[in-house]
């Protein structure tokens, strides 16, 4: 059995939960990070059934002190960090002209600075392990929309941040990539559809049924499908891939 250790943020539900369960096949120990303790414990049960040890850390990643605590607790429990998968995200879905400075700050505080601080805090351990990092962006980085402007803006910044880390990773031996999912059916996608429905004069049920065709795709993605891509990116097979931005979106992006 491998002795490798992975940290997965956003592990209490959605893509992060599926990724943590999938990684149990490749990693000996998985550190699960999010705020909701009960949901984290459910994920921990599933990860342990899939064969890995777990450490659940319920913490708000938007808080500055969170990153160092996660790294310290991981090293105290498992002694090393081989992979860091920054998946947590909850950017406010508010119109460009209605969004306050505080709401912009909250969006950046979690998804951009939370991932940046955790990657920086884990870097010495990742360097020692010749490890791998994934940062979660999203297709909205490629087509930002006024009704949810912060989502696209912050996802675009994540791609640039991953590129900057990967630049340092070339000399430090740490591999860093970013991932852009298309529409994946999770709690976050349901909340997006709740905003999208009234903008298109539909009920949420109608919007849920119609959205894939509007997006030019055959169906929603499943979180387990994105989890497979995440697992590939932190596997030995992907070791020479760094500084890349990978889309998995059912064909949503039509341009070359
Ligand atoms: N679903 C899609 O269609 C889609 C498309 C493109 C990109 N993405 C990106 O993929 C990532 C995961 O999305 P998802 O669809 O799986 O969403 P989700 O089901 O809403 O999960 C979001 C995760 O982030 C955690 N989180 C939120 N705020 C946090 C905070 N302050 N501190 C720590 N953890 C926090 C949540 O846990 P707690 O609430 O327990 O803290 C949860 O585990 C996000 O970054 C999202 O932007 C999703």
* Residue 127, pLDDT above cutoff 90: yes
Dihedral sign, CA of 221, 25, 171, 33?
A: positive
212 C-beta closer than 6 A to ligand 1: no
Q: Tell me what pLDDT residue 255 has.
A: 93
Strand order in the sheet with 245-248: 53-58, 29-34, 5-9, 83-86, 132-136, 175-181, 245-248
Q: Tell me what pLDDT residue 92 has.
A: 87
Residue 184 CA, closest ligand 1 atom number: 3
| Placement of tokens 């539909």 in the chain | 202
What are the phi and psi torsion angles at 223 (to 5°)? -55, -30
Query: Measured in angstroms, how far is the CA atom of residue 189 from the centroid of ligand 1?
Result: 10
In the chain, domain spans: 5-183+222-248, 185-220
Ligand 1 probe mutation, 7, 40, 88, 252, most atoms within 8 A of CB: 88
- Tell me if the pTM is above 0.95: yes
Give the H/E segment covering residue 83: strand 83-86
> Each residue of 216-253: pLDDT tens digit?
999 999 999 999 999 999 999 999 999 999 999 999 99
15 C-beta closer than 6 A to ligand 1: yes
In CATH, which superfamily holds the domain spanning 5-183+222-248? NAD(P)-binding Rossmann-like Domain (3.40.50.720)
Burial 110-120, CB ≥16 within 10 A → b, else e: bbbbbbbbbbe
The whole-angstrom separation of Cα 135 and Cα 16 is 12
């Amino acid at each position: 059995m491998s002795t490798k250790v992975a940290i997965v943020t956003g592990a209490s539900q959605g893509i992060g939960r599926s990724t943590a369960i999938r990684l149990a096949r490749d990693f000996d120990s998985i550190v699960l990070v999010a705020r909701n303790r009960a949901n984290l414990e459910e994920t921990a049960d599933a990860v342990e059934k899939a064969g890995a040890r777990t450490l659940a850390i319920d913490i708000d990643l938007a808080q500055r002190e969170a990153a160092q605590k996660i790294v310290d607790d991981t090293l105290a429990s498992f002694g090393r960090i081989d992979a860091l998968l920054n998946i947590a995200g909850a950017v406010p879905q508010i119109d460009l002209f209605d969004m306050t400075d505080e709401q912009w700050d909250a969006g950046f505080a979690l998804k951009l600075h939370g991932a940046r601080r955790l990657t920086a805090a884990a870097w010495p351990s990742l360097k020692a392990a010749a490890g791998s990092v994934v940062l979660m962006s999203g297709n909205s980085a490629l087509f930002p929309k006024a009704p949810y402007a912060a989502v696209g803006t912050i996802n675009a910044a994540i791609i640039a941040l991953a590129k900057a880390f990967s630049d340092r990773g070339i000399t430090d031996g740490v591999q860093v990539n970013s991932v852009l999912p298309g529409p994946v059916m999770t709690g976050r996608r349901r909340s997006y559809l709740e905003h999208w429905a009234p903008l298109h004069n539909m009920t949420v049920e109608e919007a849920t049924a119609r959205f894939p065709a509007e997006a030019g795709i055959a169906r929603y993605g499943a979180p387990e499908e994105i989890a497979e891509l995440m697992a590939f990116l932190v596997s030995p097979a992907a070791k020479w891939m760094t500084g890349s931005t990978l889309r998995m979106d059912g064909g949503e992006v039509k341009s070359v």
